[in-house]
Structure 1
């Protein structure tokens, strides 16, 4: 029997039942007793979370268009098929096809001046008080937009064009990676991995100051599975008290996994990595550099990193994280303490888990971090890349493309347009880019927000973030100071470079040095 969730309070449902069927009077208590066993009350854990913002926003538009009787279906796939010649063709879905490029969804006739409202998820800046001063913080909220029906249609048509690109990437990446796992050679493995949400350490009994205070500790978990010839070779979980999730930490977590692969099957020389694509973790210049350098020191010949589409990176690796956390929570409930990475690892070993466990020390992360140059130029259009691959004897050269293809593996094919990038000493940017320590407080810098560069003054520094008071943009390389200070904490990966103070242009506006600004845009691929 399929489970059903109640969407209203039982008392309201009883009143509704009584109004619709007055000839069948039933008391409230009897009404509750007659509730079928498969109709259950939802809990907060039954909510849908970690949804894709692009899917949700376009679905809100579709629902309002459907309510307004402008369209006859709510299926997004129907609209994609209506405006594209072939949903399996990259040019069509990227809106680059000469035949269907300008197609739009046909709407039923309605009064386009009618006022309507619809929901939308968006990121916006809000003012908050911190240390007796007003600062601006970034938050993601669900808002209600209002406008005329014509504006709603325009927003839907524009959103659908962008969504086609998103939809094609989702389907193509899943299908390509599925075929890859089904057709692995003897010398190839796939590693599907992801950082699990940090595990909060727990005691069997906790005093109040530990339960609510800053004494709570957490540990980092990097989980995944290794596939060989369409079978799971082993699942793994690397555990660390170091909570960094940057490229150096990633390779510190992956190194023992790669060594175990070599121990189990010594002939493996090709590794296909699969992960989601956050720019602070997997999809950035430092990770690509380590892929074409450090990776080959472990004894492999071909490295190939593939990214799932943004918002759709959930997979088997998340199940490993859930399993080990559930095991640790059960052990705590049975009377043991889990206070750090070592005790977490020990309780999992004692539970006879089949997951391979590795302990990663902070020294391991530091060792990899020392291999990174002080400055690297990013690969152009990094945010659009879904596959990066390199070979041992290519001397720091990496190749990339917008979507994955394995039709000639392990040799690279020319499908979907391959771009090449060479890491070498000349890639070190000439823009000033000192190490981030207390000495840079008060200096001007460039940071990125929503992948756009902004100048600002560094206010504070900690291990992973820098606090910057940024200017607002009014045009290309034109900035001004807002009336309310815009001060945010930016992760170090969003820090681009130190700069000289911008030059004043007119009474209120400022301009970053033109040569520096051009170099920043080139580095960011914009």
Structure 2
């Protein structure tokens, strides 16, 4: 359930026993009663009909899906109460991490520590204008790895690494670090430390192999580094904009209709 923490809800953080349902009940009027029917949308792990009939409760390999629940107003209030502690904890972690990342970006200095925000965009499908029907099943793709490098308050660089290696894994991240390191140190040789920032994707960023590579960062690239992982959030950052801008310009060029403007390989992109 996606809740929005407003000023009115903040009083609930003042005590352990405070529940949002007690606050929301004050807004119920004579036209809305606790046993009235209602429906709401909630994000939760999917459960197959077979598991329901067998009473299984396995959480392995479940997709998070938006689902519609139907019940009474009282059921909805109970759902608020069940989700509340998890939400408050997540909200606190997300806000503290956001404040910290903002602080280190404000303190970035080309003679001290810089901030390198990394991410992967969705693989870009290489299309051709007026392509034949069979081409739909044989389109090539390209990996887009984006980086926003904060050097100082008014100085930053945007990089994108395009490759035909489609796996988003630790090996690709390490290679991207090498490319970024060569680029940055060729322009700012006095930088003393890096602070990487990224989301917590376990496949290619937040895992034991990636952390092991981080401990060897000074050995591999000649400069020490730290890594800050952000909490799950709905917002978009600079790295998302870099990937979107490149995809947009590539698509616009293809849609121009000129045959020799077709982007057929990652190298063309």
Task: Please report the TM-score for the alignment, with normalisation by the length of structure 1.
Answer: 0.44
After TM superposition, the structure 1 = structure 2 runs for residues 158-169 of structure 1, keeping only pairs within 5 Å, are 158-169=82-93
Q: 1:178 to 1:140 in 2, by over 3 A?
A: closer
8 Å CA contact retained: 1:221, 1:321: yes
* Structure with the higher fraction of residues in helix conformation: 2
Q: 1:113 to 1:202 in 2, by over 3 A?
A: closer
1:331 to 253, 264, 267: 253
1:316 to 221, 238, 250: 238
> What displacement does 1:226 show?
0.7
Taking the aligned partners of 1:254 and 1:205, their CA distance within structure 2 comes to 38
> What displacement does 1:169 show?
1.9
After TM superposition, the structure 1 = structure 2 runs for residues 117-266 of structure 1, keeping only pairs within 5 Å, are 117-126=39-48, 138-185=62-109, 186-210=111-135, 212-213=136-137, 215-266=138-189
2:38 to 116, 121, 128: 116
- Tell me what 2:56 maps to: none
> What displacement does 1:125 show?
4.0
8 Å CA contact retained: 1:58, 1:160: no
Q: 1:326 to 1:178 in 2, by over 3 A?
A: same
SS at match of 1:76: coil
Q: Is it true that 1:274 corresponds to 2:201 in the alignment?
A: no
Point out where structure 2 has 5 or more consecutive residues left out of the alignment: 51-60
> What displacement does 1:198 show?
0.9
Q: How many residues align?
A: 249
8 Å CA contact retained: 1:275, 1:307: yes
8 Å CA contact retained: 1:119, 1:142: yes
8 Å CA contact retained: 2:217, 2:223: no
SS at match of 2:268: helix
8 Å CA contact retained: 2:114, 2:193: yes
Q: Is it true that 1:58 corresponds to 2:2 in the alignment?
A: yes
Taking the aligned partners of 2:2 and 2:156, their CA distance within structure 1 comes to 40
Taking the aligned partners of 1:312 and 1:306, their CA distance within structure 2 comes to 18
Q: Which has the larger radius of gyration?
A: 1
- Tell me what 1:28 maps to: none
* CA deviation profile, 1:200-239 (whole Å, cap 9, x unmatched): 11224422100x22x1111000012111122333210001
> What displacement does 1:258 show?
1.1
Q: Is it true that 1:104 corresponds to 2:104 in the alignment?
A: no
- Tell me what 2:57 maps to: none
- Tell me what 1:76 maps to: 5
Taking the aligned partners of 1:266 and 1:161, their CA distance within structure 2 comes to 47
Task: Please report the TM-score for the alignment, with normalisation by the length of structure 2.
Answer: 0.83
Taking the aligned partners of 1:228 and 1:294, their CA distance within structure 2 comes to 19
> What displacement does 1:321 show?
0.7
* CA deviation profile, 1:6-58 (whole Å, cap 9, x unmatched): xxxxxxxxxxxxxxxxxxxxxxxxxxxxxxxxxxxxxxxxxxxxxxxxxxx23
> What displacement does 1:117 show?
2.6
Taking the aligned partners of 2:178 and 2:67, their CA distance within structure 1 comes to 44
> What displacement does 1:101 show?
2.2
SS at match of 1:84: helix
